Amino acid sequence: MQLWRGAADEVLPHPWHAEQIRRFLPAAPEMHVVPRAGHYAFLAPCPEGMAAAVPEICLDPPGFDRVAFHRALNRDVVGFFRKVLK
C-alpha cells in the first residue's frame, strides 16, 4: 500500500489522519510526504473557470507546482501498481 499526504495540509494536518491510518495497517506502507503540498494539491489542476468559482481548492502554497506534482504523482502511482500488481 502507498499512503500520500501533503506536508502543508491545513484541512487534515499531520498526525491526525494519514498517520492514524498508517499506524493501524498490518504492514508498513510506502509513505510519501509531499513538501509544500496542501490538502487540495491532490486534486487535478483547476481549469480557469473552476479557479474563479472555488479558489479555496485551487490555490496552492507558495513554491508548490500542482501541474508538476501531478506529473510525478501519476508516474509514481503507475510505477507502484506495475510493481505490485504484476
Residue 40 grid cell? 487540495
Instruction: Please tell me the pTM assigned to this model.
Output: 0.86
Measured CA to CA, the distance from residue 15 to residue 5 in angstroms comes to 10
DSSP per position, 50-86: HHHH-GGGT---TT--HHHHHHHHHHHHHHHHHHH--
- Torsion over CA: 29, 43, 85, 32 (sign): negative
Range of the domain at 50: 2-84
Segment 31-75, tens digit of pLDDT = 999 999 999 999 999 999 999 999 999 999 999 999 999 999 999
Report the pLDDT value the prediction gives residue 81, as an integer from 0 to 100: 97
Band the pLDDT of 3: cuts 50, 70, 90. Answer: very high
Q: Give the number of domains in the chain.
A: 1
Report the pLDDT value the prediction gives residue 15, as an integer from 0 to 100: 81
**Is the CB of residue 9 less than 8 Å from the CB of residue 35?**
no
